[in-house]
Structure 1
């Protein structure tokens, strides 16, 4: 397996998760108790709504085999650190966003293998026996819970020093996220470009539906406007880097990514393009209104 898949990709995911841990305090987890409505609405969207919508997209677009499994892996991954950045730029509920991202980054150790097992059984038939679900769960632990715990421990041990480097670490995490997406494209350019039309449009539809439905469900269940918008972003933005790392496990001995990784690789490009278009249009409207 090439250097990107074997070394740089896991390293990038670890740095992103450590960055998240450096920004966390015990107060972030206490919000689960002090603001249970917002948290459980986010949990409903992330754990239930997201995989269900992804499954319906798979059926609607006719995705099969590895591509369908890859899309379900993406849906099972927690919100990425990018959701926190978007929430901050939009001046929504950053505290809630961080709490949701951190919590589901930890709980995905249990939920991701369940979704993966379902997807393999549903879409891969006899090939399901070739996939080690326990290994996927252990990898999720190594790439999420462990580095988040390390970041939190470092913050407790040296709060002053960690507070000073946390902003730079967060920026590095964003840079690495983009680098992971570019690396995924470069590692399997032919496979990605051959599928960018159908899969890319399916992912764009998934992103739009998750954001819209997440917003509607949140408001229907009594979340405030800022909470609803934050939860919608958290529902729509997935940790593509983690999805790529899990997809790499499903390759028996390949040197590049296979079809499992196509949804995660294309998702980053679709998300960056869609987010850039939204923020660009908002900025343009504000500029013209002056």
Structure 2
């Protein structure tokens, strides 16, 4: 299950992500560098630091602390694009951020995870994640995305037909993966559910808020800030769970991502109504911030 089925399942999700990307999505970053740089700084630097502070404040057991840090290091995904579309965010920016994050996560996810393992020592001095295992993260994350992009380039009609089935499969896989993680660690989950539900809720709300307010402080347009909020606030729980199970071989590490994976849908939906761009705000917002008008 953990060595074959889960990596394949995640590969399907990441392949589907690749089907939605083109090289132009990476090139678009040059057209709106300010929004991208701010969003990436929040996701790669600010959020892991905030998560580390939360873990210490909540005094989580070491294995769950590492699981939370791994969740914080996980990039956004296609779910962020869906929420951005629903609440009138800049989907083009979402896609660009997803494209960049898919590449950057190959480096940052092992880096932050190794730091957390070294600090919290959840494996009683047994060997945890090694730098060599970063190659496995590369295989799980980037290779399927690249293959999906190749398929889209060579067979665009096929990619378009497969978009909806792959999205449906991604949701089903997420539910199955979360269910499996919960079932295999039921006792540990029950013992820590109150703490995990609180810390994951707090972390999700902070992630969404940081993703929206920080760009606005730097005079980024509202639609771009909405896109940034969901990209930063909706972490790829499936990726964190699969890395915990298949790369690190620890089901306990997957519990924070499993709890987060359930709660984030409701939290993000409610948050979206608070920050969504209203028609009455669209015109003055566009006029005040000319940079955002070029990114829609």
With normalisation by structure 2, the TM-score equals 0.86
State the match for 2:61 in structure 1: 64
Conserved? CA contact 2:87–2:273, under 8 Å:
no
Conserved? CA contact 2:76–2:236, under 8 Å:
yes
Secondary structure at 2:201 match in 1: helix
Kindly indicate whether residue 92 of structure 2 is the aligned counterpart of residue 99 of structure 1.
no
Conserved? CA contact 2:74–2:109, under 8 Å:
yes
State the match for 1:287 in structure 2: none
Shift of 1:213: 2.0
| 1:57-112 CA-partner distances (Å, limit 9, x unpaired) | 11111123111111111111111221111112222111111111121121111111
State the match for 2:135 in structure 1: 138
CA distance in 2, matches of 1:102, 1:173: 18
CA distance in 2, matches of 1:274, 1:89: 14
State the match for 2:279 in structure 1: none
CA distance in 1, matches of 2:210, 2:142: 29
Q: Which stretch shows the higher mean deviation, 176-185 or 75-84?
A: 176-185
Q: Structure 2 matches for 1:8-157, cutoff 5 A?
A: 8-124=5-121, 127=124, 130-157=127-154
Kindly indicate whether residue 215 of structure 2 is the aligned counterpart of residue 218 of structure 1.
yes
Shift of 1:148: 0.2
Conserved? CA contact 1:80–1:240, under 8 Å:
no
State the match for 1:275 in structure 2: 268
Unaligned runs of 5+ in 2: 276-296
Q: Could you tell me which of 229, 241, 246 is aligned with 1:244?
A: 241
CA distance in 1, matches of 2:35, 2:122: 39
Unaligned runs of 5+ in 1: 283-290
CA distance in 2, matches of 1:81, 1:133: 29
State the match for 2:196 in structure 1: 199
Kindly indicate whether residue 260 of structure 2 is the aligned counterpart of residue 262 of structure 1.
no
| 1:112-133 CA-partner distances (Å, limit 9, x unpaired) | 1111121111111784551132
Kindly indicate whether residue 177 of structure 2 is the aligned counterpart of residue 184 of structure 1.
no
Conserved? CA contact 1:136–1:246, under 8 Å:
no
CA RMSD of aligned residues (A): 2.1
Q: Given the superposition, is the C-alpha separation of residues 136 and 71 from structure 1 closer, same or farther in structure 2, using an over 3 Å criterion?
A: farther
With normalisation by structure 1, the TM-score equals 0.88
Q: Given the superposition, is the C-alpha separation of residues 221 and 281 from structure 1 closer, same or farther in structure 2, using an over 3 Å criterion?
A: closer
Equivalenced residue count is 275
